Chains A and B, each alone.
Chain A
Amino acid sequence: MKKELFIIDDDPIYRMIVSKMVEYTDSSLIINESENGRIGLAKLEDIKNSKDKIIVVLDINMPILDGWGFLDEIEKCHFYDLDELVIYLVSSSTDESDILKSKRYKFVKGFFHKPLTNEDIKTIIGSN
């Protein structure tokens, strides 16, 4: 089964860091970068019904459509019938209220503070 990683973050350097770290850890992964939630949604819609494992690393604060907006939308669209979809939230903020808010989305698998460590990356791409 193919694994595909979607990095949705408005910071290009951060996207680069994450994709490099992922590349060093598992070079077989297909990596997709999106600079906001809207673009990320569109890319996921393109591959709907896919049976592949889809991992989303989602930033919270972004222009146009932020992480919370993305979560609301994808829930409304029934996750594009992606059977193997896993979503992780990441934020540079250490704001406690963001963590509490993320608990409202039962389908969010985890919450990470930036920067992602080597261990975090392994958890994200190695998770089932």
Chain B
Amino acid sequence: MKQIEEYSEKLSVLIIEDNQGDFVLIEDYLLEKFKHITIIHFKDYASSINYLQNSQEKISVILLDLHLPDLVEIELINSIIDYNFQIPIIVLTGHSDLAIAKSSLQIGVYDYLVKDEIDPAILHKTIIFAINRSGFINQLEYEKSNYENLFNFNPQPTWLLELGTLRILNANIAAQKKYGFSLDDFLKMTFIQLHPKEEEQAIKQKLISKDDESTGSHFTHFLNDGKEIKVDIYFRKINSISNNGLIVQSNDISEILNHIKTIEIQNTKLKEIAWTQSHVVRAPLARILGIINLIEMKTGNFDELLFCLKQLRVSTNEIDDVIKKIVEQTNKSKPDYF
């Protein structure tokens, strides 16, 4: 109760009440309990709506009598709620209308007060509770719209799927752009339809059986124009009161795979070059060294020396050719985008 006593924020209360006596009484109670309060008073429905639509004043709470000269009871409540002013409404009622007041709670009225039973403390408590509750509800609405924005403006294609059937319940803007399907197109599809036939089992296994182990690798997705992309798939189960679903994201890794392929081709080339170094370059070099060994063993015969020199010439030319070839090969292995 301490918190309630200390309520000192600025408050604007709109009282819609045609009975002057009732109004004065409520006004007195309010002024007694709230320090910084602005009270606005209208006596009928039409002028109240007119005020709500045009006023700059931010109304904290509406106190509404159920019998106005131009509209009454449930129709009155419905009409005001339809405007969706986002202001908590507290109904003021006599004993005769108690049933209506109670049922109005189901269509969006925050609370009701029986006029004969109102005292300053009850009025004060009811208003504070209504404002607090409206704060929570607004907070929830903000959160909801924040999450909707997170979904819609996420740059990664993201879907909301029905658990089990994998029917698409929602698709964000990135998914629509990337895949070339409109939201309406997506809503007629299941997520499986994005995959080629041979991957149907695997994607079902991943998303329905949550069997991540068996499907570690990536998937193929078809875009609306028939183009194929390679994707990684991420998903989480989400729970809500109405239905359980899956939130699924795809990450296009086609380009990364292409890069990896390029690197692999280069690696193969490098291995070839290493092999060439080890075998082809070394062969004539080993021969040259062998010829020198031979000369060192026996150099007496001039003809034999000439023969050896000729062989040296052949082998050195061969090394020269090999080196030229390696340089050529190395240049070829440079990727195109360098």
Mark A residues whose CB is within 8 Å of B.
11, 13-14, 16-18, 20-21, 24-25, 61, 92-95, 113-118
B-chain residues with CB within 8 Å of residue A11 when the two chains form the complex? 283, 287
Q: Do A18 and B290 form a contact, CB below 8 Å, given A13-B314, A92-B282?
A: yes
Is B311 engaged at the interface, CB distance under 8 Å to the other chain?
Answer: yes
Chain A's closest residue to B285 (CB) is: A92
Query: For chain B residues 273-300, which have a beta carbon within 8 Å of chain A?
Result: 275, 278-279, 282-283, 285-294, 296-298
B278/A95 in contact, CB under 8 A: yes
- Pick the contact of A14 from B286, B292, B298 — CB < 8 Å? B286
* Shortest CB distance B289–A (Å): 4
Mark B residues whose CB is within 8 Å of A.
275, 278-279, 282-283, 285-294, 296-298, 311, 314-315
Chain B's closest residue to A113 (CB) is: B286
How many residue-residue contacts, CB under 8 A, span A and B?
A: 61
A13/B289 in contact, CB under 8 A: no
- Pick the contact of B290 from A17, A93, A94 — CB < 8 Å? A17
A92/B279 in contact, CB under 8 A: yes
A114/B294 in contact, CB under 8 A: no
B-chain residues with CB within 8 Å of residue A14 when the two chains form the complex? 286-287, 290
Interface class of chain B by DSSP: helix
B-chain residues with CB within 8 Å of residue A61 when the two chains form the complex? 279
A118/B297 in contact, CB under 8 A: yes
B286/A24 in contact, CB under 8 A: no
B-chain residues with CB within 8 Å of residue A116 when the two chains form the complex? 290, 293
A114/B298 in contact, CB under 8 A: no
A21/B293 in contact, CB under 8 A: yes
Known: A24-B297, A24-B298. 16 other contacts (CB 8 A): A11-B283, A13-B314, A13-B315, A16-B311, A17-B290, A17-B311, A18-B290, A21-B297, A92-B279, A95-B279, A114-B282, A115-B287, A115-B290, A115-B292, A116-B290, A118-B293
Q: How many Å lie between the Cα of A14 and that of B296 in the bound state?
A: 16
* Shortest CB distance A119–B (Å): 10
Q: How many Å lie between the Cα of A117 and that of B294 in the bound state?
A: 9
The 5 closest A-B pairs by CB, nearest first: A114-B286, A115-B290, A115-B289, A17-B290, A92-B282
Q: How many Å lie between the Cα of A93 and that of B283 in the bound state?
A: 8
* Shortest CB distance B301–A (Å): 11
Chain A's closest residue to B304 (CB) is: A20
Chain B's closest residue to A17 (CB) is: B290
